[in-house]
Amino acid sequence: MKADPTAIELLDLLKQSREYTKYFAELGVETIALSSDPIAPAASRILAAPSPVESSPGSSPAISEPRQSRMKVPSASDPPASLFGEVAAPQFQSTESMEDVWRDIGDCTRCGLCEGRTQVVNTFGNHKARLMFVGEAPGADEDAQGKPFVGRAGQLLTKIIEAIGLKREDVLIGNVNRCRPPGNRQPTLEEAAICRPFLFREIAAVQPDVIVVMGNTALRNLLEVREGITRVRGKFQDFRGIKVMPTFHPAYLLRDPSKKRETWEDLKKFRDYLDSLPPRRD
């Protein structure tokens, strides 16, 4: 018996709705004002700031009640935030340091990835960096050493950073997830939703001028766009007032070196943008 296309579409919409409901819950969002415009995104305004999920060391994975955040809470006069990046969300501010975020993460047991990891792999680099690179999750080398991008893909990333006239110690390097998924698989939606609020807090603390998202997982978790990396790479996007450049993941470049030319074009764009900015005042 042939399935009803309408029923299939409705089931798909319900699945997407559940995923986004879970996502907003992880960020501590309690209210979403819906637009009356039928062609506008379903969620047109986020009225609460992201806050981390917490659990005490040794406890079973759980999601606590959202606590008061030190980030700026968008007001009713702020521009709407879109699910799919069509409208820029208001720029966020934070009085936290990176160390504050890491203390909250602790020896994290918030999702099942803690069971197979060796250690939590936090963002690494210059805490005053103007440039930040974001990937998917740690691999075996990263899990062993406790630093992001130290394996073969990391060595290529180092060459990429040096190609634009910088060193690893000049930038920030991190991932959406901080624990290695079994077999280096892609993090699940739930695993990413639990971990990415900490990445958001790091970004708020550092306020880099440019974030380079590498690969589909980083792209979709930071910007929530439907398109894949091939379609949006090389085009500046916006994350809460910060410019974002999507490009290929170094691990993908190792599998398909022909994409290095396109990646170099992406690098030149954010390099030239950074060069055009006035020096930062400490």
Three-state SS for 245?
Answer: strand
Segments in 39-108 forming alpha helices (H): 98-105
- pLDDT for 175 equals 98
Mean pLDDT value across the chain: 79
d(CA 11, CA 9): 5
Q: Kindly tell me if the per-residue pLDDT of 31 is higher than 60.
A: no
- pLDDT for 73 equals 37
Segments in the chain forming alpha helices (H): 5-27, 98-105, 140-145, 152-163, 189-206, 216-223, 229-232, 250-255, 260-276
- Name the pLDDT band for 220 (thresholds 50, 70, 90): very high
Please choose, from the candidates 149, 150, 98, 140, the residue with its C-alpha nearest in 3D space to the C-alpha of residue 119: 140
What CATH number should be reported for the domain whose range is 5-276? 3.40.470.10
Place of tokens 């077999």: 183
Phi and psi dihedrals of 11, rounded to 5? Answer: -65, -40
- pLDDT for 21 equals 61
Domain boundaries, the chain: 5-276
- Name the pLDDT band for 70 (thresholds 50, 70, 90): very low
pTM confidence score: 0.69
Place of tokens 């001028």: 209
Which has more pLDDT, 187 or 15?
187
- pLDDT for 78 equals 41
